[in-house]
Amino acid sequence: SQTIHQWPATLVQPVGSPLSLECTVEGTSNPNLYWYRQAAGRGLQLLFYSIGIGQISSEVPQNLSASRPQDRQFILSSKKLLLSDSGFYLCAWSVEWGEEPLHFGNGTRLTVT
């Protein structure tokens, strides 16, 4: 069966520091991978998605970036965090080319101080 791992679970970082969140998926190949942010409420905002290695699409311009160095690895990064980057970050995957559900990781609670 497929599993998704996301870490760390909680992170407190000062303003201006770098960020690296990692997500890996097991049990499937060539998944679609996504990063969502949920800030101060309930909405799920799509940040990035990837349909393959090295292929990243950005939905929202910001100081965050994403990379997919391997088929089942997705990384969210920032060179300098802002206070507004605080939130709950969720990695997710779905099958390649299909109207199928998203499967979410457990999320990372990021607090920028």
Partner 1 sequence: GENVEQHPSTLSVQEGDSAVIKCTYSDSASNYFPWYKQELGKRPQLIIDIRSNVGEKKDQRIAVTLNKTAKHFSLHITETQPEDSAVYFCAAISGGGADGLTFGKGTHLIIQP
H-run or E-run covering 21 = strand 19-26
Query: Contact with partner 1 (CB under 8 A): which of 11, 39, 51, 56?
Result: 51
CA–CA separation, 83 vs 90, rounded Å? 18
**Does residue 101 belong to the site contacting partner 1 (CB under 8 A)?**
yes
CB of 77 or CB of 103, closer to partner 1:
103
Judged by CB under 8 A, which stretch of 18-26, 36-44, 61-69, 78-86 contacts partner 1? 36-44
Site string for partner 1, 16-35 (x = CB under 8 A): ----------------x-x-
Residue 41: partners with Cβ closer than 8 Å, 6 or more residues away: none
**Does residue 90 belong to the site contacting partner 1 (CB under 8 A)?**
yes
CA–CA separation, 22 vs 32, rounded Å? 15
Two tokens, residue 82: 């802002």
CA–CA separation, 90 vs 110, rounded Å? 11
Q: Which residues bind partner 1 (CB under 8 A)?
A: 32, 34, 41-44, 46, 49, 51, 57, 90, 92, 94, 97-107, 109
